[in-house]
Structure 1
Amino acid sequence: MTERLVVIGGDAAGMSAASQARRRRSEDDLEIVAFERGRHTSYSACGIPYWIGGAVTGPEDLIARTADEHRARGIDLRLGTEVTEVDTERGRVRSRDPYGQEEWVSYDHLVFGTGAVPLRPPLPGIDAPGVHGVQTLDDAEAALAALDRGEVRRAVVVGGGYIGVEMAEAMLRHGLEVTLVDRNLEPMNTLDPDMGRLVRGELEGLGVRVASGAPVREVLTGRDGRVRAVSTDDDEYPADIVVLGLGVRPATDLARAAGLPLGASGGLLTDRAMRVRGAERLWAGGDCVEVLNLVSGAEQHVPLGTHANKHGRIIGTNIGGGYETFPGVVGTAVSKVCEVEIARTGLKESQARAAGLQFVTAVIESTSRAGYYPDSAPMTVKMTAERVTGRLLGVQIVGREGAAKRVDIGAVALTAGMTVDQMIDLDLGYAPPFSPVWDPVLVAARKVADAVAADLRKG
């Protein structure tokens, strides 16, 4: 008897699950229906700032697989169609197509790949013309159309996280005066404040005005109704365009209404096979779920395309009759603003405290290549290790070319549960064009290992 797989969400997790299930099961054995409320499928939202900034030429570069390509592989993909209700008791979902027609579709397996939605606080003027989010390809097209109007000279970016700093770069590349307004005391709140301070200094060096500790209170408009400024408690920042980079939350309204288990962030809770906890036929992956942080042991919302694609592959494998699990994450992320590279993995200090861990830290300054080699660039590495045991807890890096991907050394060490003493002896590649004799990450490991030893001597 033919089973039916229904997928809610046509991007990374959902379509990876559908594609993997199709590889394992034929159309005679498994019918696949996928609902996507937008106009595009299987695209890289992470690439949107680079399209807006001009590094990517068009939306087609960001689309990994078109709707027609999915359909040619035996997936009934329905664009512009939103799932409005999930009935888990009867095993069916209610959908609404672009013409307003509603239909109940039954399932044997249901995948939640609903992703995340951008945070958009209910502030006066937040929906005024000239205010743009950057979550979807449609958002990017609207922002580019606004920039092409020829009347835009000043941009205000609200939020100093990954999207915020990347969009600050995009606005700079359009030749605009850029102000970054952030409620936190330093940008890049995923870093410790001392490392975020380095990012602020680099942004200011690029000509970005950084207003820290400044939550937005209102978006001000002119007589024509268009945005003219952003106001905080202390100041107003003139703007011809406003870009929102305030982060995202899991898109789990459907799951909540269906009574499914959600974590502290609102993300769906799954087992290691990516099956919704307590549900036999329900699966979830991507930005709508919480995952295990292998360092802290806590559930965490980590909205990244890398995880979403892995989740989808695991779900599709399991629905297809195989067996795979997702072990968890260590919290690795990289970004850049112009030539400045920013990276982190593991726990920052506040996360370590929240996990009940005691720790020591070390901060070192080094270079990307041997100091005598041309174009050697500075970088700062901060490393955190557990007291007594010396177990690595986290790495943060701010620097220029060659800095960000060094964080992967830390990611591997964290996954392996290594101590900083063990890291010191890692046999990393060396040649003057690539690294000093002692790689910056190993220098940081030496320094924090010394701090662990000194702490032990103090008793």
Structure 2
Amino acid sequence: MGNERLVVIGGDAAGMSAASQARRRRGEDDLEIVVIERGRFASYSACGIPYLVSGDVDGPDALIARTPDEHRRRGIDLRLGVEAEGLDLDRRTVEIRDLATGRADRVGFDHLVLATGAVPIRPPLPGMDAPGVHGVQTLEDARELIDWLAPEHRRAVVVGGGYIGIEMAEAMVRKGLAVTVVDRSVQPMSTLDPDMGALVHEAMEGMDIDVVTETEVVGIEVTDGRASAVLTADGRFPADIVVLGLGVRPATELARAAGLPLGASGGLTTDLRMRVGVGGGAEGIWAGGDCVEVLDLVSGRRRHIALGTHANKHGRVIGANIGGDYATFPGVVGTAVSKVCDLEIGRTGLREKDAAAAGFEFVTATVESTGRAGYYPGARSMRVKMIAERITGRLLGVQIVGRDGAAKRIDTAAVALTHRMTVEEITSLDLGYAPPFSPVWDPILVAARKAAQRVAEDR
């Protein structure tokens, strides 16, 4: 059909972005595009799954950005329900199997994009695979969880207190269940420093979510063939449904078996153009999304961060390069936002332990402020923590916990981190002000001013 063939393994954010961008730049007579996706859905927003489960989003179709037929009409051969089982880099083929029929085949490639994503961490503990224990990584996972919920279900236990865990705790609360979150960390949201995580803990307890920290799960109790309780070293927590919120790991088994380079997290390593293992028989192989490591622009280290924002950018870069343009992905500063009920959480850059591990000496500043002018109706408090390098005052990280527009304020800090600004420079930023939106001194500016003072005192 075409002079060259692009094979994409994985049909969600990174994979379909890469395929779509390549198609925009190269016609069907120049580039054949085949996408292999083991699931039944493609091009959907996995980040919206908690809100689908809670009922805020009306049905799975609302999360689908582009249907399979729409992709096919644009000249992309999207094959759903087909799994990639092996890579032969010498012959440049992918071994595939139709999951419905069991039929095996091979498809050759000139370009290969690995967009295999990530899989939920499911510890090898007794009962973890029992009916009623749910991961929530894919749209199919969400549908299975929704189908499992029944009117007689009263109790949910969420294992893990990270982003997925707290979002799913909210979803279960919205469904009318009594919720317990069990986490082995000192505080929930371990992507925050413990002092900020304590605010999340306190707020969740105020929402009638029972938060049990510093507790190790040892297994799932199974009664009558289904999960009935979460077992920990400190006790038993009855459950009609168990949701796993332990995070994810890169899905790189194919890449590992083929001998492609992996980083410390198990994620694929790429260059700035998202190419994998350039040279040594790996020419024309690309990777993006949750299966890769990315460069942390603050610490200078490589990390695994599973976010749809990065995945879409990776795919765009890959597709542009395959299409004959030149594009790069320089790295990230680690920005993320989340919520549990009306509590908003934002973070970017390094935590204290990250800064110490990277070799920085630093100062911290924490301030209480409000999201609007204090006299304006509805003004509510938020806490901002800022971390800055000693002597230089370079911004290293920011964390925000509060309500009333707290989370998206983290974007100001993300821009400042990307451009290596000092906290003193941040104090002069011309941020928008009107009483319904901010105090005269925005909380970010108040924190920067206090951090700059700490830096000056430390010199």
Shift of 1:60: 0.4
Question: Could you tell which deviates more after superposition, 224-233 or 267-276?
Answer: 224-233
Q: Give the number of aligned pairs.
A: 454
Q: Within the alignment, does 1:225 sit opposite 2:225 as a pair?
A: yes
Asked if 1:398 corresponds to 2:389, the answer is no
Tell me which residue corresponds to 2:41: 40
In the alignment, what sits opposite 1:116? 118
| Pairwise CA distance, 1:231 | 1.2
Which of structure 1's runs of 4+ aligned residues deviate more than 4 A?
Answer: none
2:437 equivalent to 1:421: no
Write out per-residue CA displacement over residues 201-243 of structure 1, whole angstroms, 9 at most, x where no aligned residue. 0000000000000111011122x12211111111111111110
> Where do residues 249-260 of structure 1 align in structure 2 (5 Å cutoff)?
249-260=249-260
Q: State the match for 1:206 in structure 2.
A: 207
Instruction: Give the match for residue 328 of structure 2.
Output: 325
The aligned runs of 1:115-264 (5 Å cut-off) are 115-147=117-149, 149-222=150-223, 224-264=224-264
Task: Show the counterpart of 1:284.
Answer: 287
| 2:237 partner letter | Y
Paired amino acid for 2:188:
P
Q: Describe the superposition over 1:249-288 as per-residue Cα deviations: whole angstroms up to 9, x where unpaired.
A: 0000000001001000000000000011323210000000
**What is residue 359 of structure 2 aligned with on the other side?**
356
Q: Render the CA deviation track for 1:375-412: whole Å, top value 9, x for unaligned.
A: 00110000000001000000000001210000000000
Structure 1 Cα separation of the partners of residues 219 and 212 of structure 2: 15
DSSP-derived class of the 1:296 partner:
coil
Query: Take 1:104 and 1:139, find their aligned partners in 2: how far apart are those partners?
Result: 28
Within 2, Cα distance between the matches of 1:55 and 1:283?
A: 36
Consecutive unaligned residues of structure 1, counting only runs of 5 or more, are none
Q: What are the Cα deviations for residues 119-159 of structure 1, in whole angstroms up to 9, with x where unaligned? A: 00011111111111111111111111121x22200110000
Give the deviation of 1:368 after TM superposition: 0.3
Does residue 1:297 correspond to 2:307, yes or no? Answer: no
For residues 151 and 225 of structure 2, the distance between their equivalents in structure 1, rounded to whole angstroms, comes to 18
For the residue of structure 2 that corresponds to 1:121, the secondary structure is coil
Deviates more, 1:157-166 or 1:134-143: 134-143
SS state of the match for residue 286, structure 1? coil
Alignment of 1:82-101 (within 5 A): 82-98=83-99, 99-101=101-103
Matched, 1:73 2:74: yes
Partners of 1:268 and 1:167 lie apart in 2 by 28
Q: Which residue of 1 aligns with 2:274?
A: 274
1:23-77 deviations in Å (ceiling 9; x for gaps): 0000000000110000000101110000001110110000001111111100111
Distance 2:151 2:20 in 1: 43
Aligned residue type for 2:139: L
Counterpart of 1:16 in 2: which secondary structure? helix
> Could you report, residue by residue, the CA deviation over 1:346-397 in whole angstroms, capped at 9, with x for unpaired residues?
0001111111111000110000000000000110000000001000000000
From 388, 401, 409, the counterpart of 2:391? 388
Instruction: Give 2:105's aligned residue.
Output: 103
Counterpart amino acid of 1:387? R
TM-score by length of 2: 0.98
Are positions 1:20 and 2:21 aligned together?
yes
C-alpha distance in 2, partners of 1:225/1:114?
Answer: 32
Alignment-mate amino acid for residue 338 of structure 1: C
Is 1:347 aligned with 2:364?
no
Report the Cα distance in structure 2 between the residues aligned to 1:100 and 1:178, rounded to whole angstroms: 41
Structure 2 residue aligned with 1:311, among 311, 314, 317?
314
- The separation in 2 between residues aligned to 1:433 and 1:388, in whole angstroms, is 36
- Secondary structure of the residue that 2:450 maps to in structure 1? helix
Q: Matches of 1:139 and 1:93 in 2, distance apart? A: 26
Q: Structure 2: how far apart are the matches of 1:218 and 1:427?
A: 53
Output the CA distance in 2 between the equivalents of 1:94 and 1:36. Answer: 13
**Overall identity of the aligned pairs, in %:** 69
Separation in 2, partners of 1:433, 1:57: 31
- In the TM superposition, residue 338 of structure 1 has moved relative to its aligned partner by 0.4
Query: Which whole-Å deviations, capped at 9, do the CAs of 1:2-24 have from their partners, x for residues lacking one?
Result: 10000000001011000000000
**Counterpart-to-counterpart distance in 2, 1:142 and 1:303:** 22
Rounded to whole Å, the distance in 2 between the matches of 1:155 and 1:381 is 32
User: Which residue identity lines up with residue 305 of structure 2 in the other structure?
Assistant: V
1:51 partner letter = L
| Whole-angstrom CA distance in 1 between matches of 2:148 and 2:102 | 30
> In the aligned structure 2, how far is the partner of 1:218 from the partner of 1:85?
33
* Alpha-carbon offset, residue 175 of structure 1: 1.1
Q: Distance in 2 between matches of 1:168 and 1:93?
A: 39
What per-residue deviation string (whole Å, max 9, x for no partner) do you get for residues 327-353 of structure 1? 100000000000000000000011111
The Cα offsets for residues 140-197 of structure 1, whole Å up to 9 and x where unpaired, read as 11111121x2220011000000000000100110111110000111000100000000
Query: The residue matched to 1:443 in structure 2 has which SS?
Result: helix
**Offset, 1:318:** 0.3
SS of equivalent to 1:83: strand
1:160 maps to amino acid? G
Indicate the SS of the match to 2:290.
helix
Write the letter of the residue equivalent to 1:400: R
Q: Alignment RMSD, CA only?
A: 0.7
Q: Distance in 2 between matches of 1:255 and 1:226?
A: 35
1:337 to 340, 345, 357: 340
Unaligned runs of 5+ in 2: none
